[in-house]
Structure 1
């Protein structure tokens, strides 16, 4: 069966270097019908030019610090039947889009969400959750080998994470897209609640995986310490006005403040914040909470059809998955081979093992190949044994099995 046409939307602001890697990943997907839409400021537009993609993707100039409005601008030119979203500090696995969109073969499915991998490239940052009227997420157990369509109980929604989610464009547009009252934070959660209220089904697709690096921004430093909490507070107030009974507001705010205080103290203890930063951030949170109480909550009219036709992207990944492996001391030669094969259109996974117990890390390089490095006897899965006694061949086989499906190596 032919793939449904998909529009992949990336919103980027002030993170051109990070966007370069996201776009490199998007240009190497195993999918036969997708277009790329980048909603971005001048820095992001320069990143698109550096990759020589200006004539191959849709670029929407947008500099306002409002992620909901930016996403709606992307939807405005998105012509695919499915609209997928990924952040500009994330990189997709090659089969990401295939697994994320497969559940839409069921006409009842209106939305999907995938799993998110953290900074080390191995441990999961986000799996499956539901969310309630207070915006509190609760983990869900799902079969991690296949997609599962879920219907939440009244008052809850199936949570999709903004950096790895997709929707039927017709449903998303009919709901009015994203609410611009959420300039940052809870924008996707609000949409999840509106989907649930309209009795739409959401599927969780565990094999649809992206790597999320938490790049620094105006709101967060490279160490993930917050720089400002104003919009987080404002969005919480907006969310409560939209979804939470008024008699519960005080308790929700009290719990939220306590959680944020605990996080700030952790950053303070670790040396990522100073005492004056904590005081300033607490004040900004309160200012945001107050501002959100009076922010305009306008109706969300249906979004119009795309203003532009579908513009399919020709994926750079023209060949099946290729595996290269060797000792860490051979890294220069192996990296050169990996880059050369990648330039030829192969989707390359490079494994570099050192004679140590170093933990493993995975990253996609600027050249577009995947590299996993670490000790031959070290952990990859952080829940495994500290010492992994094995041979080179057995270790390679085990690591290949771990990534085979999302990396697209199953046909080797």
Structure 2
């Protein structure tokens, strides 16, 4: 079956280094027909301008703190039948689009979401959840491989994550895209409920994986500690007034405010916040709740236009050879140099470095353009495994390769560096 053309939209503001890494990851996507659209502030635009792949990227400059408005600008540039969204502090696995777009072979499917791995590159930050009109969420318990088309009770729909989701362009544009009343929070959740109201099907593709770094922003620190809750309060107000029955709104707000307070108290317990910080942040949350009443959701939404520019194919690494390099912890420099060389030759490369310890594993995408996993030969990668497991270097390498094979692709060459 012919692959559907996809537009990958990335919105970036104030995080040029994260954007550069994200685009390097996107450059390794194994999909035969995709384009890249970047909506960025001046610093992000400068990063795009300096990249060798600049001629293959559609760039829109936008420097306002409104991710919904920025995404809508990206949609107007998107000429693919499917529009996929990725945060600037995320990196996709090479087969991300392959898995994320597979459910769209069913013409009834209007949107799809994937799974998100967290900072250690191995544990899941997000799997599959549902949401209700009063913002109650629950885990759907969906596992790989999928994809899944969850059948949910009335009033409940699949909740997508903005850092890993795709929408069929035609119904997305007909719905008016994202509502700019939601400047950064609940923007995709509002869209989820509008899909449900229109009778659209939403799929979940567990093997469509991205790695999310949680980069710092004006609203949160690098350790995820909140810096400002004003927009969260405003978005909650907009969401409840649009989707929640009036008789249930006050109770929903009280519950959600208490959840935010509990989150702040946990941050205070671990150290980043003091009691005065908690009080200040809650005042911002309440101020946002009041401000939200002045920007009613859905008040000025109209269908989005057809693409303003033709499809701009990005070369990517369709059917690229996969290479794995395995060695000891002390060989880090040599392994990285060789991995970078192979990556520059347009291969998809993963480095495995094991020490003779039980250290837990970490996985990340290196700025040199390759994946790097490091940890103890006898330590955990998946956090549900045994704390200590004795095994040979070769068997451990084989195990870790098989763990990511469905999202990164089958290894064509495995090179051991052992001394």
Q: TM-score range by the shorter chain?
A: over 0.9
Which whole-Å CA distance do the structure 2 matches of 1:53 and 1:147 have between them?
32
Which runs of at least 4 in structure 1 moved beyond 4 Å after TM superposition? none
Q: Which residue of 1 aligns with 2:342?
A: 341
Equivalence map 1:375-394=2 (5 Å): 375-394=376-395
Deviations 1:189-224 (A, max 9, x none): 000000011111111000000000100001001111
Which whole-Å CA distance do the structure 1 matches of 2:188 and 2:271 have between them?
32
Equivalence map 1:90-105=2 (5 Å): 90-105=90-105
Query: Which one is further off, 46-55 or 125-134?
Result: 46-55
Q: Which residue of 1 aligns with 2:398?
A: 397
Q: Are the equivalent residues in 1 in contact too, given 2:323–2:411 (CA < 8 A)? A: no
Secondary structure in structure 2 of the residue aligned to 1:55 = helix
Which whole-Å CA distance do the structure 1 matches of 2:369 and 2:214 have between them?
19
Deviations 1:339-381 (A, max 9, x none): 1000001000110000111100000000110000000011101
TM-score when normalising by structure 1 = 0.98
Equivalence map 1:124-273=2 (5 Å): 124-273=124-273
Which whole-Å CA distance do the structure 1 matches of 2:110 and 2:265 have between them?
40
Unaligned runs of 5+ in 2: 414-419
Which whole-Å CA distance do the structure 2 matches of 1:150 and 1:312 have between them?
33
RMSD across aligned positions (CA) = 1.2
Aligned positions, number: 412
Which whole-Å CA distance do the structure 2 matches of 1:163 and 1:364 have between them?
16
Equivalence map 1:239-388=2 (5 Å): 239-297=239-297, 298-316=299-317, 319-388=320-389
Q: Are the equivalent residues in 1 in contact too, given 2:323–2:350 (CA < 8 A)? A: yes
Q: Are the equivalent residues in 1 in contact too, given 2:31–2:317 (CA < 8 A)? A: no
Q: Are the equivalent residues in 2 in contact too, given 1:5–1:33 (CA < 8 A)? A: yes
Which whole-Å CA distance do the structure 1 matches of 2:127 and 2:296 have between them?
33
Q: Are the equivalent residues in 1 in contact too, given 2:324–2:411 (CA < 8 A)? A: no
Which whole-Å CA distance do the structure 2 matches of 1:409 and 1:182 have between them?
41
Which whole-Å CA distance do the structure 1 matches of 2:327 and 2:54 have between them?
37
* 2:372 is the counterpart of 1:408: no
Deviations 1:233-280 (A, max 9, x none): 000000001100111111111111111111111111111112221111
Which whole-Å CA distance do the structure 2 matches of 1:29 and 1:50 have between them?
20
TM-score when normalising by structure 2 = 0.96
Secondary structure in structure 1 of the residue aligned to 2:305 = coil
CA pair 410-155 structure 1, distance change in 2 beyond 3 A: farther
CA shift at 1:146, angstroms?
Answer: 1.9
Which whole-Å CA distance do the structure 2 matches of 1:283 and 1:267 have between them?
17
